[in-house]
Amino acid sequence: MVLTAQAQADRLGFDLSSEPEVGRLIAFFSNGVPSGGRVLELGTGSGVGLAWIVHGIGERTDVEVVSVELDGERAVQAQAMGWPEWVSIIEGDGADVVGTLGSFDLIFPDAPGGKIFKLRKTIADLRAGGVILVDDMDLSRHSDPELRNGLATVKDRLLQHPDLICAELPFASGVIVARRRKGDR
């Protein structure tokens, strides 16, 4: 699916897909979600990140994956790609959707809604032991001051959250992984 999604992104001129290094990390964490687990992606794009999630889950059928895309046309194009039945792609604003879909074991907020805006709600959706993965956190890659400020706030909110254990991974676009402490709830 990753090659198919990347081909679709290339065909549509969509250049915001996750880099392969980040994709492999997403696949790594996706494979680790427990039985009955749920995965949430905010910002489907052309489905590259979603394809890495599906790659990580592999032949398992005990995991549900939800991906949310604001752009209606992009959502329809992604829906048409032929995902496993346990994948659903919803058209909507991540900032509105977080807090309404239940709780998750892995969240990849990859859109402003639910990452720069309403990150607290996204964190609240994380199950104990669950992981949030954010990329594009290397601020030196971004020249837009508003975006830099937004991402700096994301970083602070994650690193300073009392219920999260975080690691900054300075590779690719810059990654932070954050796990909700077990025993927290």
Ligand X SMILES: C[S@@+](CC[C@H](N)C(=O)[O-])C[C@H]1O[C@@H](n2cnc3c(N)ncnc32)[C@H](O)[C@@H]1O
Interface residues toward ligand X, by CB under 6 A: 16-18, 41-43, 45, 48-49, 68-71, 74, 93-95, 110-113
| Phi, psi (deg, nearest 5) at residue 2 | -60, -45
CB of 128 to ligand X, least distance (A): 25
| Phi, psi (deg, nearest 5) at residue 88 | -130, 140
CB of 185 to ligand X, least distance (A): 26
CB of 162 to ligand X, least distance (A): 26
Minimum CB distance to ligand X smaller for 171 or for 185: 171
Minimum CB distance to ligand X smaller for 37 or for 77: 77
CA nearest neighbour of 49 among 148, 74, 140: 74
Minimum CB distance to ligand X smaller for 14 or for 127: 14
CB of 67 to ligand X, least distance (A): 8
Q: Which tokens sit at 42?
A: 């905010």
- 36 vs 183: CA distance, rounded Å: 19
Give the chain's radius of gyration (CA, Å). 15
Minimum CB distance to ligand X smaller for 2 or for 33: 2
- 101 vs 8: CA distance, rounded Å: 28
Name residue 147's amino acid: L
